[in-house]
Amino acid sequence: MQTIVSSGNPIVDAIGQINITGNIVPASWFRKITLGSGRPDTVAIIILSELLYWYRPKETKSKTGQIEWNKKFKKDYLQKNIKELCSKFNFSYDQVKSALKRLEDGGYIVKHLRNETIKGTKYGNVLYIEVVPEMIRLLMAEDESDDNDVNDNNERNLLIVGDPQGIETGGSEDENLRVSASIPEAQGLESRTNTKNTTENTTKDFSSIIEAKKKFMNQIDYESLIIDYPRKQLQLMEIVELATEVLTSSKSSIAVNGEQRDTEFVKDRYRKLDINSIKYVLESLGNYTGGAANTRAFLITTLFNAPATMDNYYELAVNHDLKVAN
């Protein structure tokens, strides 16, 4: 039995005897892979870390003592199923589908849909995912000055996420091979990669942000909205995050529909939002067929206008229905 020299700390020693496995997530990703609101795109971050786990080579030692790299899957690209990712990380189908779309839009992955015959059965739209090494290198680059301050000697802060499938559990590519549904164009808000930290974000009292978020979720009856719109959880959380950002802003003005508005006036409008306002916003987003160059600004304006335009919208809709009925 191997002798272990104590660290001198009982907690450290106890943790050292636990076999902890999982995907690694550089902490800088939570600043670099963000949603339109500027908040971390947690779903996309976790999924990308899972994909990188599968693409990291498995090291083996040859008879001559050389280190050999082997891939963990059999074909040219990794085959992954959306439902499998949902099950592993307890995400909804829409969350995973939208996150994959955002990762592809960001250039981190490329999706390939193939028609294949698996064990004698023909399948269409089998999803394979290619990871783009050049983009991962850019993502991993410590190009932010605050990264250099935090990570002495170029060391990266790493987080452990989940329990990887495959090598540690004796899994194989065959177990990983499952049929994927075609991924249609994801609905909802776009994401953006943000590499700039603002002074406002770093100086805010984090506890006050959490409190404001909880208060707004109660204000709009978030739990009921989730029940009514189970497939729009991503959009609903985007709305919550953006509203929280507005309600905790320390700026003197906020851009609404291309015009600078007094922040307190904008906050007052946001405090009038309720469950019906959010339902109206979701319906408006679903019916909107135009393009938006800046989805964040578009959503800020839509939420700002909701308390004033909602009643007129529904009155026109009712009048239209009555006219059709007659």
Residue with tokens 């999924």: 47
Q: How many CB atoms within 10 Å of residue 182? A: 11
Is 16 contained in some domain?
A: no
- Check whether 117 has a pLDDT greater than 90: no
Average pLDDT of every residue of the chain: 75
Residue that is written with structure tokens 């280190």 in the block:
67
Could you tell me if 223 and 143 lie in one domain? no
Report the length, in residues, of the chain.
326
Residue 299 reports pLDDT greater than 60: yes
**265 and 294 part of one domain:** yes
pLDDT the model gives residue 206? 59
- The one-letter code for the residue type at 92 is S
Last residue of a domain, one of 184, 218, 240: 184
The pTM of this model reads 0.46
Contact at 8 Å (CB) between 257 and 301? yes
Average pLDDT estimate for 189-194: 38
- pLDDT score at 283: 85
- Please state, in angstroms and rounded to a whole number, the distance separating the CA atoms of residues 156 and 254: 35
Question: What is the per-residue pLDDT for 85?
Answer: 93
Asked whether residue 66 is assigned to any structural domain, the reply reads: yes
91 assigned to some structural domain: yes
What average pLDDT does the segment 128-142 reach?
A: 84
User: Are residue 28 and residue 68 in the same domain, yes or no?
Assistant: yes
Residues 283 and 310 in one domain: yes
What is the mean pLDDT of the segment spanning 21-28?
A: 82
Do 34 and 177 fall into the same domain? Answer: yes
| Residue 246 counted as domain residue | yes
* Residue 250, domain member (yes or no): yes
C-alpha 316: how far from chain center:
37
Shared domain for 136 and 257, answered yes or no, is: no
Domain that holds residue 83: 22-184
Q: Are residues 180 and 213 in the same domain?
A: no
